[in-house]
Structure 1
């Protein structure tokens, strides 16, 4: 039923207005036969229901002569003109309104002469058409504005989704590059030990053959690893990956740049390299976010081991009240969440009741 209401409502308005005009015309004794009025009224109403949206201009042109000669179709003309203003450009609606007003004025002048009823009828007709066209154009502009806002919102959401996806992919690529260095080192050690076992004099021929197979397999694995990971590298990235021991140097760089950074380092011995690399990246991203969103605000960093095998990294900074926060896409935090989830850890971040931004990550490792 709700789908038909937008189509039935204009038809009801047209019928009600047509009946009012026909009643006045019959009362004055100058109207057309009632049967002909009803027939033209039914046809005009059916045209409104069927063609008001798809062919409003053609419908208006067809109704023009009937609306001038008969009372019932005259009630459908304002509705048809409103549909033109709603679904077509403003100049088209204005042109049709001017055409209708011109034709109706000529017919009224011939039928009534330049009398008071003529002036009253012409004035009412012009005011009605101006009102109908203005309301239709206003609604059409409002719809277009709402549609443009909806499209911008959709594009913004799509852009945000793409930025988040790019951040995840970038973080995965960076993790893959880091793992290349780790795996390359370990596989190289495996190849060296296998090579030493292969040339050992005390080893039996079977052991030497097995060691040779291990050495060759390790060599092939290194070549495959270099081929795959080499595509992810960009120029200038062939350098050692930072670890937990490089965090103090990172903090010192921020201090030299003017930031007030406090570092509490507890229990950093014996932390696996992979966990240390992840902790370094978390501190690095947290410092970047703090400089971006709260420049000049003090930053506190705490790195400590937990009872369950793992490392906790906490970074907090006071939000500077005098500095407007820059908008951000959240891509850095998305990358950190991706990194932490890949190693089975937990990441929490957000504002605190005390007016600070707090980031806490827990990174596990196997015992």
Structure 2
């Protein structure tokens, strides 16, 4: 259903409030009329008829003031109750209204004023054979009951408002947490694909460098390198498109399956195919028990190390050692000699910063830096519970 405009909703609320006020005036007027008829049924108070009618009409009209000015309206009704029993329904209604809307101290004072007004009424206009003592007891009991009822209603409404506010706040917080979770998930996946894209581009740079520095290669090798570059460019474009989709879409992007420790062999083979000489020493016992998150982090460590080796020490051999067992942790060490010349592709240095953060989040540690002979060493230690 389409929502009504704000102006129309306000008009409906105002109209509903007006009808509620009319209904309240008519109800109180009806009770006042019944009170007048009851007091004058035997004709003993005929001289007070005109006063009671006037007071009943005025008291019914004062009901409208309780919505905006409850305290003055209730005090005026208490004064009228001292003059005529026709104001009793309106006066007790004023006591109840104040008890429902204002603090206990103010409500007690208004209830006391109404009680005093009715006590004055009972002194000079007693009800038939009802003793004044019993009238006073009933007066106090009725006003105390209205006071307690109003305060209970107010407390219940406050509890409901508090619960409603908590529900709204919880819903808002839930929405914020969902948005933060989506943002973190997008950032994580964008970082994963950034690593893949950097690895892919470094491979392309290696093949392009081979074409540039070895133009005398055979046509078959040139065609093979050009084909690898063409396929790699298409893959890099697809991966870049995935990164953009992750950062743009509000919904969590599923993306491609994440790598595992078992994919290290394929990663090393891909780097070897690109011309990098890699001495791979695998000393891992029972890699199937390695936690998936640890295996994925290990894959990213090796991927970043091979990528940096191709960037900054192209053509130099790389030694990769991976060792570990359950309960002893997983250790990764990747070393390469110093570069012969300038880097094939420049680097910003943010890859190792992000890798350090990734390893620390996995509960491990990462150390990297130059060796005394000018080479580079990358070493990571990851937890592997028994």
- Match in the other structure for 2:260: 243
**Structure 1 residue 3: deviation in Å?**
5.1
C-alpha distance after superposition, 1:110-148 (max 9, x if no partner): 5659x8532232222222212212222222222111111
- Match in the other structure for 2:7: none
TM-score computed with the length of structure 2 as normaliser: 0.50
RMSD of aligned residue pairs (Cα, Å):
4.0
Map 1:1-367 onto structure 2 (within 5 A).
6-26=20-40, 27-30=42-45, 33-48=48-63, 50-109=64-123, 116-202=130-216, 242-243=259-260, 245=262, 249=287, 251-253=289-291
**Structure 1 residue 83: deviation in Å?**
0.7
Q: Report the CA distance shift for 1:141/1:55 in structure 2 as closer, same or farther (over 3 A).
A: same
Larger radius of gyration: 2
Aligned residue pairs: how many? 227
C-alpha distance after superposition, 1:173-197 (max 9, x if no partner): 1101111111101111222222332
Task: Please give the alpha-carbon distance, in whole angstroms, between the structure 2 residues aligned to 1:23 and 1:146.
Answer: 41
Task: Please give the alpha-carbon distance, in whole angstroms, between the structure 1 residues aligned to 2:260 and 2:146.
Answer: 73
> What stretches of structure 1 of length at least 5 have no aligned partner?
204-210, 233-240, 255-272, 275-367
TM-score computed with the length of structure 1 as normaliser: 0.52
Alpha-carbon contact 1:53-1:87 (below 8 Å) kept: no
Task: Please give the alpha-carbon distance, in whole angstroms, between the structure 1 residues aligned to 2:66 and 2:289.
Answer: 70
> What stretches of structure 2 of length at least 5 have no aligned partner?
1-14, 218-225, 248-257, 265-285, 293-298, 301-386
**Structure 1 residue 57: deviation in Å?**
1.1
